[in-house]
Amino acid sequence: MQFVPLCTFVDASYWSEVNRRKLNEWKLEETPQPLGASISIYDCVGSDSRLSLSNESFLGSSVLKGQMILLNTVETFAKLDRKAMMNAEADGIWDSIVSGRWMNQPTTINTFIFTVFADLKKFRYHYWNCVPVLALADLSLKEQPQEMVEDESRVLLSHLEQSQQSVFVYSKGITLPLTAILTLQHEDYEIVVADPSTTPAVAGALCRNVILAVLWTTKRTEMRLISLRGGQVSWRFRINVSVPVTIRPSNVVGLERNGKDEMKPSSVDLSKQFHPHKLMEQAVDLNVSLIKWRLVPQLETTKFSQLKCLLLGAGTLGCNVARSLIGWGVRTITFVDNGVVSYSNPVRQSLSEFDDAQNGRKKAEVAADALRRIFPSIDANAVEMTIPCQDTLSIRKYESSIDSCVSLLHSLISSHDVVFLLLDSREARWLPTLIASSIGKLCFSVALGFDQYVVIRHGVTEEGRVEKEEGMTTMRGLVNASQLSCYFCSDVTAPGNSMAERTLDQQCTVARPGLSRIASGLAVELLSSVLQHIDPFVPPLGVERVIIRERKRLDY
């Protein structure tokens, strides 16, 4: 007797869910994961007999219960002993048959094992499905299959929809539970199986273990089967076996052939089918999520993706800070600058190009556009404005715009979570520092000299933040966040005009070209560490190591 094998159909939504769970939940685990599959009895003649997987397969409400084994390497996937796995699963099926559990839980005798290797970086997936079947060698048809009357088929389909039972008994126009076979005469009933087979007069693979279960339970050599189909004619079969089934069949089959009809795994490349923006988002999150697998399991990656960063200055430091932020998965960045890209900028400022200088484009606009080209899903914004500082306050031509600039700056700082001060002059940092401190925002300053740099995390002195630290003692080597200084705490006078009466080499930021990347990277890494604190506003500063390092340096 022949049967139509199942063909696994995997929807793209399934792989998308695998990506998410592998990165964020399973990580390096290779333990079997519960999985559900759906079948369709409404497919037309000539199509595949489908076992379908989608993102809903992880919800546990599907008709067919199975498991997925997701391997970490393609070598492990290739070497996996699937024959042994199928035999172990067949033992469970046989136990369900012998114990009689299958009559109350028919899903226990039709299962599957879906083995997978997922290359999350290239969006390539290798898979091989196994639907274990205990094969009876001498199974045969007593007579040719008969078409079922449409009215009877309609009654059975109605019962299937109402009961959601894929296997049941049909006796003299009445549907009954499977336990009825223990009391009914074998010629008085038929076993109904919701069958996804699309081949006329040939039953599907899901009927095989049901046939075995019935023959074992009734201890007979004959049974009658209905292959119930919704999209075509249903079929009646009279099946017999030469001798009663008394022992477990030794032959276990069910390993699926691929699309080339080879006994090999299937593979799919979805790099061109996923939306490019979604692919980019998953790829951006990949490296950050991988940190959680071994290195920092407690890393909270959502703190980066939900962060809103304000970058005051879109020059060399601003560009490099932005590149590091998106590397951590930050999705919202706003640039503030009033400058124009000059011909000397592109070689140092990683987000600008020659054309930007040639066209006299604004730095903030150029930086935001470049980020959107690099990562289309990012929310990158540009604000052109002159930040009020000591010298502009004294110039009449700025008087009309001072109030609006201060108001806009206050609004920008208020609407973001973190502020980076990346400006060319000391005085330009003064007002943002005051505003950030007054409303309790995280603020970081980065400044460059020729071969020196400064990276500062400003203290947060807003009343609500300080109250959280009440009762905290300043331990040896630790400084509470509220006691941290800002960029101007060591000044004895208000900042003046640092650009007046300066030669060209003093007006420009003359620094080692690699220094900005070092300082920018440290600033972002400092932020990444602070964010992992239970409250990012209050983590203390550890100074003991710095003191020890200075002492060692002095000893030399």
The DSSP-derived string for 149-203 is PHHHHHHHHHHHHHH--SEEEEETTEEE-GGGGGTS-GGG-EEEEE----STT-E
Cβ-proximal residues to 88 (8 Å cutoff; 6+ apart), any chain? none
Burial 31-66 (b: 16+ CB within 10 A, else e): eebebbbbbbbebeeeeebbbbbbebbbeeebbbbb
What Å distances lie between residue 244 and 189, 213, 546, CA to CA?
19, 12, 83
Q: Residue 329: left (phi > 0), alpha (psi -120 to 50), or beta?
A: left
What Å distances lie between residue 252 and 89, 90, 185, 310, 497, CA to CA?
10, 7, 30, 63, 85
Considering only CA atoms, which of 294, 167, 283, 157 is closest in space to residue 231?
157
Answer yes or no: 508 catalytic: yes
CB atoms within 10 A of CB 119: 13
Terminal Cα distance for the chain, rounded = 89
Q: At what angle do helices 316-327 and 363-374 cross, to 10 degrees?
A: 20
For the chain, helix (H) and strand (E) counts, in that order, are 17, 25
Q: Which two tokens stand for residue 299?
A: 């890393």
CB atoms within 10 A of CB 399: 11
φ, ψ dihedrals at 340, nearest 5° = -115, 145
Considering only CA atoms, which of 200, 183, 182, 188 is closest in space to residue 236?
200
Alpha carbon 445 to its chain centroid, in Å, reads: 33
What letter represents residue 386's amino acid?
T
Instruction: Measure the CA–CA gap between 275 and 12, rounded to whole angstroms.
Output: 11
Considering only CA atoms, which of 93, 80, 91 is closest in space to residue 32?
80
Instruction: Measure the CA–CA gap between 356 and 359, rounded to whole angstroms.
Output: 5
Considering only CA atoms, which of 422, 412, 484 is closest in space to residue 453?
422
What Å distances lie between residue 477 and 382, 490, 530, 546, CA to CA?
41, 21, 17, 9
Burial 72-82 (b: 16+ CB within 10 A, else e): beeeebeebeb
Given 44, 207, 489, 508, the catalytic residue: 508
Environment class of 255 (CB within 10 Å of its CB; exposed 0-12, middle 13-18, buried 19+): buried
Contact 451, 512 (CB under 8 A): yes
Q: Which residues are catalytic?
A: 508
